[in-house]
Amino acid sequence: MALEINNIYGVTCIKGKVSSTHVQEVKGYFKALLTIQDNVIINLCEIKKGSKKLVRVLENLQAEISEEKSLKFFSYPEPAVKELYAQLNSEANYYQAAA
């Protein structure tokens, strides 16, 4: 599957499998985008493979940009986060029952 980048209501959505060559192309794309936009939001939820590589590159890019620019990205939570969320919202949790 080819890597697809779409802008949906101001959020850049990336879909597909990320290869090593894609990582550098995506970094260049967002570097260029940050020259014309101050705020960039990226949705990584539809990435099927290679998201860890891409996240490292985006974290490095975040560190490189100036303070007046903003680069934010998100994805689905990891399984441990889902489990913790389920525990917090469980009916058996007496803190939840008190609220």
Q: How far is CA 92 from CA 65, 81, 85, in A?
A: 45, 18, 13
Domain containing residue 17: 4-98
pLDDT for residue 1 is more than 60 = no
64-79 mean pLDDT: 85
Query: What is the value of pTM for the model shown?
Result: 0.73
pLDDT tens profile 10-49? 999 999 998 888 888 989 999 999 999 999 999 998 888 8
Number of domains, the chain? 1
Phi/psi of residue 86, each to 5°? -65, -40
Longest dimension (CA), the chain: 52
69-93 mean pLDDT: 75
pLDDT for residue 99 is more than 60 = no
CATH number at residue 63: 3.30.750.24
